[in-house]
Each structure stands twice: as C-alpha cells, then as structure tokens.
C-alpha cells in the first residue's frame, strides 16, 4: 500500500477574500500507480489566511493535505507498509 494525495484550491471563492482548499488522501497499490484502492480522508475547508494569488492558494492546499499525511504515513509504517517519498499532486 502506497499513500498518495491530491490537492486543489479555488482562489477568492469565499466572502472576505478567502479561498477554499480541498483534497483527498488515498491508498494505491505499489505495482502500478495510480490505481486507487479508495480514499481514506477527504478534506474540504476554507483557508484561514488571505492568499494573494491562485498559486499561493494551491500551495496552501498542498500544505493542508501534506499535514494530514504525516500521521497516516507513520501508522502505515508501523503496520508494516514502509512508505516511499510522498506522491502529492496539485492541479496545474
């Protein structure tokens, strides 16, 4: 099992110059990537800080998703599934 993540953001889509972040974390097999085994965590939240560009909003979304990946990686490693470097993707 390999942990992988996707992140996306919408820029200035909320009142008071706020942006929205979303993403999901899923398990993939280690033979062919990206066949997904199913999402284990879905994230949808408003970014607390005001972002000055769409790029900053995307980076904030990546940070939010990566922050959640940290403890899931530890759990998977303790369960006997060592993890390679993270597979995190964001929309271009």
CATH number of the CATH domain containing 56: 3.10.20
Of residues 15 and 32, more confidence is placed in: 15
Q: How many residues does the chain have?
A: 92
Domain range enclosing 84: 2-90
Q: How does pLDDT run across 66-87, given as a tens digit for each residue?
A: 888 888 889 989 999 888 876 6
Number of domains in the chain: 1
d(CA 35, CA 28): 6
Per the prediction, the chain carries an average pLDDT of 81
Structure tokens at 58: 């995307």
| Mean pLDDT on 27-55 | 77
CA dihedral 27, 33, 37, 43 (to 10 degrees): 50
Is residue 32 scored above 60 in pLDDT? Answer: no
**Whole-prediction pTM value?**
0.78
Structure tokens at 86: 């993270």
Structure tokens at 81: 């599934």
Q: How confident is the model at residue 29 (pLDDT cuts 50, 70, 90)?
A: low
């Amino acid at each position: 099992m390999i942990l992988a993540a996707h992140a996306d953001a919408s820029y200035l889509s909320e009142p008071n110059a706020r942006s929205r972040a979303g993403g999901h974390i899923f398990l993939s097999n280690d033979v062919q990537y990206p066949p997904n085994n199913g999402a284990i965590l879905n994230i949808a939240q408003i970014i607390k800080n005001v972002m000055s560009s769409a790029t900053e909003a995307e980076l904030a979304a990546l940070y939010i998703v990566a922050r959640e990946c940290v403890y899931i990686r530890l759990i998977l490693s303790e369960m006997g599934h060592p993890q390679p470097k993270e597979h995190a993707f964001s929309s271009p």
